Structure 1
Amino acid sequence: MAMLSNYSEQAPSRAEVDAYQGATVIEFGTDWCGHCQAAQPHLAKAFSEHPHLQHLKIEDGPGRPLGRSFRVKLWPTLIFLRDGEEIERLVRPQDAESIRQAMNNIVR
């Protein structure tokens, strides 16, 4: 699966996320967030080396249940899951290497 370019207003339920199999990256943020925009080149570079990873790009904000269930406070927040379990988290990543390393930690 390729990296997604826009944040989706539609989010799976937490129960659906917990049931995911394999490696998944959830990216919480918004299209208008400057920090989110600045992270996109780093994400693109990391995803170019891990195109098989499932990527969910979820619009976050007050009252959004999935982001609240993960206690997201700042954007972008990247949640790295293996079989529905959080393995690692990056908040406002500023380089592709840290994202790539976290991706490596969820790949079997």
Structure 2
Amino acid sequence: MGNCCPPSSKEGDDKQSTTSSLASGKVTLIETVEKWEEKLSEANKNGKMIVLNFSASWCSPCRAIAPIFCDLAAKHDSLMFLTVDVDELTEFSTSWEIKATPTFFFLKDGQQVDRLVGANEEELIKKTEAAELMLTL
């Protein structure tokens, strides 16, 4: 696997660098509700499904799955990969009823079609491939 989202290993890293370890490359970090609405609109307009990852910079499983998430984003151009740091957008995350991180949602036309709770690489790959297949149906 590539290393497009390396986990931060330094003590005392600032919030920006630890949060950015969750998203890079073709993964967009959603930092505001307005940015979410913009990306949702863009995905709907372009006929893309969204893979939405709710993570936290302090969460070891989130940091561990981030490079896999980035690799999937690089391989699946028909999908839009977005990450939300639950600590940065607390109210937004709460509205999605996030109980554990990471939690992944698969959205088509703004509606949830699938979900995965936990950093299960095999399931994330399987669900991502299924999401891409859904677009061709």
Q: TM-score, length-normalised on structure 1?
A: 0.74
Runs (4+) of structure 1 exceeding 3 A deviation are 11-14, 16-20
Q: Which has the higher helix share?
A: 2
| Percent identity (aligned) | 23
**Pair member with larger Rg:** 2
- Deviation of the 1:102 alpha carbon: 1.5
Q: Where do 1:2-21 residues align within 5 Å?
A: 2-4=26-28, 7-12=29-34, 16=37, 21=44
Name the aligned partner's letter for residue 33 of structure 2: A
- Deviation of the 1:62 alpha carbon: 9.2
Structure 2 CA distance for aligned equivalents of residues 104 and 34 of structure 1: 25
Structure 1: which 5+ runs fail to align? none
> Paired residue for 2:90?
64
Structure 2: which 5+ runs fail to align? 1-24
Question: How many residues are matched?
Answer: 104
Q: TM-score, length-normalised on structure 2?
A: 0.61
Q: Deviations over 1:12-71 (max 9, x none)?
A: 488x38765130011111122111011123223322321342122111049722211211
Q: Which has the higher contact order (CA 8 A, sep 6+)?
A: 1
